[in-house]
Structure 1
């Protein structure tokens, strides 16, 4: 059981600092200054509090009792949350108890991460100002990971400690203990490097190694992405959802798949329209579900969808020409549903459509909360992010990559190709050039051109 004591560390004939000693167990004992001071002659070693001999001592005694209660209460709360309890924690609680304003230690990594989060709306990124919601979310997640790692190593991490041995141990913890995927672990190292470089710009001392931290991603051979081909989209488009008896029987036979879902012709047709629309416009699930009539524009001949991507803040315009999607926009624009429900329903639609082949991929294990590689029926791996990949994969090499990038919002071709797990095909670029050249010149009359033969004859 944790104990709290107040004591003096000196018997000098002058006012000395009052210390607070927190003992959780034999290996976790912390002592810091309370910020209060008293003359040793006014201190009772028996009670561990000031002697009640004058009004000032009585007030001081009351403050120390208040601090004792505050630390005890917060200790139980924070232990339950798994927060690291150390001298820094104890100092923070003293300051919180008395609402003291103190200068934070800018050399601590978590403090600078919080600084970035707190100033997110005024941070300059390239030619824009303000961090996107997804970037802020990533910083918050990274801060939580660092806090958890600090709890493991039982100390707060300073920028000057980010050396190669530290990064190697941190990487090992991310992959082998936390069981994070290669991509997610690599992303955390990328954010760590970014935070360190940003700290240096704010005149915080960092290590030279922190600026060259190497992050990583899965190799192409280890990546398994799921897309819906044109043929599979045709299966979805032609799916008969009118047989209510069949749908009821399907629900009975697939209790886990359909749990908490309304398996009716109306609800399923709504999801089908989201899938077909999503696979034709190449946007993230969050952006897809935010589309309303206000985003749709008709110029008398064609439909366009104008939107600003939430993640990148990029403005994109998508032309709609596929007849079945035009029909959806004109007559059956889907009703908005929660993002998670879209993912759950998409699996139902795909299974009903016969998209059941066994494929290799990653699936979330709900017990460990980690994705596991394995062989699964394809419908189990389909979610809203597959719609965007399907658009990019289906039209790759059929539409110039630059046009596709303009729609998906990728910043460069290499990222687009990584997204769909493709290598750059320079022959395809050359073939496309020749194809468009022939198209441009097909109506021009051929001209006879005499080439010199290298003689004067």
Structure 2
């Protein structure tokens, strides 16, 4: 708990008043305020003396009473304002910033114009209340932004100078990109995502009257095409037909069968449970869920292969590896690589593999068992059914919003649509020929 008091350092007329705060070991800071007292003897024990006990003129009494009220206002403001910090975080600059804010109508404009200070303020006072489409942002999004804030603060330290909020524009954004690539060793898709978030975070400074850089809006996040790994029918069968003594490998194989037949991200796959299963009037079963990442509702048909897995586990999905979602994805990816290697999936393909020495993902040609992860289910599902089922039907399951986005996801170009047109024409022509032959025979 903080103790706040006032004092003077001079016995002269119109002495400058100082504010002091203390709160345990090492927490003792003192700075001047924009107030003076005509007679320093009237400030004792950290406060203005009670004027009722003083033999002074009416004007002097009125001046002292006003000063007493003002000091009480300062004390109340500073006490509340410094609650932004843990006691161990308090510094002389914290106290000075609080005093400046009091005389600036309560706004920390000068203090928060420092980018690092603003990032701390944003995380504590703005981020918890951010919304998207009139709804509070998810905890997942909050965690991502906190990660970006930490990366930005680390980046700022490398510049060895005071950086203002208004300094963060396109040029500094490019420097941040270089830092993320060269120092943090992040892949380009993560870098592009963090750059986009950095703009979002800094842009909110205008809500507390802090100027931003004229080029801030020109900062754009980016993505690069992720190598697409798709298994052939033969490769799928090799995994599906494996027999195991290792229980975790068997559970992984079963989750793999579910994954390639329901087409969901790992974050949704491992949330599935039998309470989500619904049955329609024809006795067909579906999983009913809202996709976590994009908040899109999906009604996912459960085919015979998934039904067999459910039956194997008494109407339930296979056991989870952990109660933690991210851990489930990690274990699944690890064991999937192992069983794919055991299945002999050694075909070389282009992809990204994490290098433990370089501490980053490195692109190259690798055996496909090294490239499999928890995301294989959604991509494999989309690729398996493309051209066999109408694309909008597949997209309703995978959650893709546009056909162009879907085609890019499975590694197909826009020209694929033109190729499909010829296929449809071939079907139409074949149907016409068949009908003519039937007429002739009749």
- With the length of structure 2 as denominator, give the TM-score of the two structures: 0.69
Whether 1:142 aligns to 2:152 is: no
Say yes or no: does 1:165 pair with 2:156: no
5+ unaligned residues in a row in structure 1: which ranges?
1-7, 21-30, 43-52, 58-73, 79-87, 245-263, 449-457
Deviation, structure 1 residue 422? 2.8
Distance apart, 1:18 and its partner CA: 5.5
Deviations 1:208-227 (A, max 9, x none): 31112233332x4xx42333
Q: Match for 2:264 among 272, 283, 300?
A: 283
Match of 1:92 in 2: 94
Query: Residue 316 of structure 1: SS of its match in structure 2?
Result: strand
Of the candidates 194, 208, 224, which is equivalent to residue 188 of structure 1? 194
Match of 2:128 in 1: 118
Q: Return the alpha-carbon distance in structure 2 between the equivalents of residues 318 and 436 of structure 1.
A: 29
Aligned residue for 1:234?
A: 237
Where 2:375 maps in the other structure, the secondary structure is helix
The one of 430, 440, 443 equivalent to 2:421 is: 430
Q: CA deviation at 1:95?
A: 8.0
Supply the RMSD in Å over aligned alpha carbons: 4.5
2:16 aligns with 16
- Contact kept, 8 Å, 1:32 with 1:90, in 2: the verdict is yes
8 Å contact kept, 1:132–1:310: no
1:259-270 matches, within 5 Å, as 264=246, 266-270=247-251
Q: Secondary structure at the match of 2:366?
A: strand
Other structure's SS at 1:384 match: coil
CA gap 1:10/1:206 in 2 versus in 1, 3 angstroms:
farther
Query: Do the aligned partners of 1:227 and 1:387 also contact (CA within 8 Å) in 2?
Result: no
CA contact 1:344–1:383 (8 Å) conserved in 2? yes
Deviations 1:62-112 (A, max 9, x none): xxxxxxxxxxxx99x88xxxxxxxxx975237889xxx9964446545134
Residues 35-114 of structure 1 mapped to structure 2, 5 A cutoff? 55-56=45-46, 90-92=92-94, 103-105=107-109, 107=113, 108=115, 109-110=118-119, 111-112=121-122, 114=124
In structure 1, the partner of 2:347 is 357
Inter-partner Cα distance in structure 2 for 1:181 and 1:430: 37
**Distance (whole Å) between structure 2 residues aligned to residue 93 and residue 421 of structure 1:** 57
Question: Equivalent residue for 1:335?
Answer: 319
Deviation, structure 1 residue 144: 1.1
The 2-side partners of 1:192 and 1:203 are apart by 18
Asked whether the 8 Å contact 1:282–1:387 carries over to 2, the reply is yes
Question: Judging changes above 3 Å, is the alpha-carbon distance between structure 1 residues 439 and 412 closer, same or farther for their aligned structure 2 residues?
Answer: farther
Q: Distance in 2 between matches of 1:132 and 1:442?
A: 57
Shift in Å, 1:146: 1.3
In structure 2, relative to structure 1, the CA distance for the partners of 1:432 and 1:359 (3 Å cut) is closer
1:272 pairs with 2:250: no
1:134, distance to aligned residue in structure 2 (A) = 2.9
**Alignment check: 8 A CA contact 1:95 1:102 kept:** no
Equivalent residue number for residue 70 of structure 1: none
Residue 135 of structure 2 is aligned to residue 129 of structure 1: yes
SS at match of 1:343: helix
Q: Residue 326 of structure 1: CA displacement?
A: 2.2
Aligned to 1:408: 398
Change (3 A) 1:94 1:197: closer
Q: Assess, with a 3 A threshold, how the Cα gap between structure 1 residues 348 and 168 changes in structure 2: closer, same or farther.
A: closer
May I ask how many residue pairs the two structures share in their alignment? 374
| SS of structure 2 residue aligned to 1:383 | coil
Whole-Å separation in 2 of the counterparts to 1:92 and 1:437? 77
Go from structure 1 to structure 2 and tell me whether the alpha carbon gap of 1:236 and 1:12 turns closer, same or farther (over 3 Å shift). farther
- Pair 1:225 & 2:228 matched: yes
> In the aligned structure 1, how far is the partner of 2:429 from the partner of 2:207?
53
Residues 200-259 of structure 1: per-residue CA shift (max 9 Å, x gap): 5776533331112233332x4xx4233333322211111122xx4xxxxxxxxxxxxxxx
What's the CA shift string for 1:2-51, capped at 9, x where partnerless?
xxxxxx9999854436599xxxxxxxxxx994769899x99xxxxxxxxx
SS class of match (2:412): coil
Is contact 2:166–2:213 with CA below 8 Å preserved after alignment? yes
Asked if the contact 2:336/2:372 (under 8 Å) is kept, the reply is yes
Task: After superposing the two structures, state which structure 1 stretch, 138-147 or 386-395, moved more.
Answer: 386-395
Is residue 392 of structure 1 aligned with residue 376 of structure 2?
A: no
